[in-house]
Chain A
């Protein structure tokens, strides 16, 4: 593919093959962190937004995106980072949520937009994740902080399986 022929849609298609290194079942496009793509002659500018301020995977993601585009003969590649609007798990498509569950990570519920933060971790019934293994709702959130910034640690009482959940933010 020559750079001149690459359209915005084609670039998105290439980026849809770049996986999140920490959740390799989702592409960076499915994750919702690719906010914009601009093609200017041979140059490509990709605008990203981080999932969390300190997400250590961002550097790797930038390198992977640059490599994927250069491999297709595109470039120079410029990565821009924007912080507003802030990333929300509401940007995950239903398809992405299904992929997460199939991978063993409970997908996030709707992000709360409350102005008052509840002081204790008293998950309502709606916030109780469905076990990605046996699909039981008899689960408990053990800790809201998991192996990566974007996940919580949960436990299924029905099948005694610990599992992770994508935090709704």
Chain B
């Protein structure tokens, strides 16, 4: 049976690694210089956290896989990130709305993980809390600007909310892995974060004049390795260097 601890740490690490990579695609392409820098900074925070979390997963696994092996030598079906983070970066509105959805979730999760029974995970989480506070403020600030901006910015932001909403449910789906790590004290049951998340996100969207779609259907699959076609393309780009030159270093 798979070790729930490793499975859980892969979920945490993969969410950050894949979203960090998606954000890095904006480098040199963001609408204004300040945003180029901001998105690259946020990507760096996420990739840094991913490296620590995957390193911890590898350590607990006790085999030879380090953070690099886990990031660069796994196939899409072995990835455990939520579908939300692997979707293409879209336009700036899609990127920003996704950042709001994910950052609020990740901040709540990191706040809870500061009390993890695993000291290393608690330390990584305490560091991450400080970083996610900046990420939440950045995305909420922009959602308000886009929602209250021009007809164009508002319609794009609304479209982004409509398109991404059905990927938010997966963040709070609790399965045996969540329950096992919550029981052992290492992790937190994601479903317990939903009401706080919903309150904050609804508050921002309402203030931005944006509406939440009425659908209750939610996509799922990422946590079990069933991904969209987008992840394979992302991995092919992210992993090509490591796979073309196995064991290379500089």
Contact = CB atoms under 8 A, between A and B. Distances in A.
B243 interface: no
- Secondary structure at chain A's binding surface: helix, strand, loop or mixed? loop
A83 B52 contact: yes
Given A53-B45, A149-B41, A149-B45, A86 B123 contact: yes
A143 B35 CA distance: 8
Query: A interface, how many residues as a size bin?
Result: 20 to 34
B124 interface: yes
A146 interface: yes
A149 B44 contact: yes
A120 B203 CA distance: 12
B144 interface: yes
Nearest to A87: B127
A98 interface: no
Interface stretch (B129-137, B154-162, B164-172): B129-137
A67 B190 CA distance: 45
Instruction: Select the residue from A56, A115, A119, A147 with max chain B CB neighbours within 10 A.
Output: A119
A11 interface: no
A53 B37 contact: no
Contacts of B119: 84
A119 B35 CA distance: 18
Contact of B44 (A54, A115, A120): A54
B34 A53 contact: no
Given A84-B126, A145-B134, A53 B52 contact: yes
B138 interface: yes
A53 B48 CA distance: 5
B47 interface: yes
Query: B interface, how many residues as a size bin?
Result: 35 or more
Given A84-B119, A84-B123, A149-B44, A53 B128 contact: yes
A169 B134 CA distance: 9
A58 to B, nearest CB: 9
Contacts of B129: 86
B179 to A, nearest CB: 26
- Secondary structure at chain B's binding surface: helix, strand, loop or mixed? helix
B137 A83 contact: no
A86 B114 CA distance: 11
A144 B48 contact: no
A153 B127 contact: no
A54 B47 contact: yes
Given A84-B122, A119-B203, A120-B137, A145 B37 contact: yes
Nearest to B140: A119
Interface in B170-216: 200, 203-204
A72 interface: no
A52 B44 contact: yes
B128 to A, nearest CB: 6
Interface of B: 34-35, 37-38, 41-42, 44-49, 51-52, 107, 111, 119-120, 122-124, 126-131, 133-134, 136-138, 140-141, 144, 200, 203-204
Pick the 10 closest A-B CB pairs, nearest first: A54-B48, A83-B123, A84-B123, A53-B48, A145-B38, A54-B44, A143-B34, A145-B41, A119-B140, A86-B127
15 contacts: A52-B45, A53-B49, A53-B124, A53-B128, A54-B49, A54-B51, A55-B44, A83-B127, A87-B127, A119-B137, A119-B203, A143-B37, A145-B38, A146-B37, A153-B34
Interface of A: 50, 52-56, 82-88, 115, 117-121, 142-147, 149, 153, 167, 169
